[in-house]
Amino acid sequence: MKPQTASRLLWIFGSAIVAACCLTIPLRPVLGYSRNIKTQAALKDLVLGVNNYRVEYNRFPMPKDSSASVDQRLESTGKFLGVLLGKNEDGINLRGLAYIEPPMAKDGKGGLVEEMTSGPYRLTHSWGHPYVVLIDGNYDNKIDNPDRRNSRPEVRKDAPASITAGVIAYSLGPDGIEGTADDIVSWRPPLSFQQPVSCIQPTWQGVFALVVLAAMLVSIMVILGQGFWLVLGLLGWGKEKSDPTDQGSSKAS
């Protein structure tokens, strides 16, 4: 391989690496946003499923031995999940109707996971933890608001003491810790959704985004340019013009 060809290959590979790195940087918030959207949709399905069960049986899908005087905190696992999937757990789904149809999880995240210890399945969010479901156990249409215990002051500040609903659900978010700022809940938009997002922000983040975009564009131009000349070299175009010293030496001999 000629040194010129090797140099162009190095330019192409190096530029490709730079372009790939620049591409992954803006993709991270996009992936996080899509996970939040997916989790929010799963929460709505859970709440709708529990409410549809109540319409069918005139009761919530709570264990028979649960207290009817307090709200119930359940997770999307075990017999509770089995009832929503259409199983007649503890005889509380005699018609065998399914109230949710979640997808199967990938790598244990974002769907149904086979679980042999707590039941046939568990339903996980995009970060691998079960959802939490709060049910109005005494049927007064009020549930204590978990936002009152949130670690973020702006969440606690205007949170009412109770939520008017028969069932609510939430996800522990990426950190897997309850009551933190990244929790995704069914009764309000996530905090990250409430902030307006502009394409060009007058901050260092906007400048950084422009620099990354410029670096990616330059890398793509280098790849195209060097690739073009590399193809010409491999095809042998302009070989006589590129080696004048060889022609002079051949004449001298």
Per-residue pLDDT at 142 = 95
18 within some domain: no
Q: Report the chain's mean pLDDT, rounded to a whole number.
A: 77
Question: How much of the chain, in percent, has pLDDT values that exceed 90?
Answer: 44
Q: What total number of domains does the chain contain? A: 1
Mean pLDDT of 111-133: 84
180 within some domain: yes
Nearest CA to 184 among 176, 105, 71, 106?
A: 176
- Which residue type does 249 have? S
Least confident among 52-56, 101-105, 151-155, 189-193? 189-193
Question: Which domain covers residue 71, as residue numbers?
Answer: 42-189
* pLDDT band at residue 114 under the 50/70/90 scheme: confident
| Per-residue tokens: 133 | 């479901």
Estimate to the nearest angstrom the gap between the alpha carbon of 60 and the chain centroid: 30
224 within some domain: no
pLDDT single digits (tens) 156-201:
988 999 999 999 999 999 899 999 988 999 998 866 544 433 343 4
Nearest CA to 36 among 210, 213, 188, 245?
A: 188
- 133, β-bridge pairs: 74, 169
Per-residue pLDDT at 253 = 45
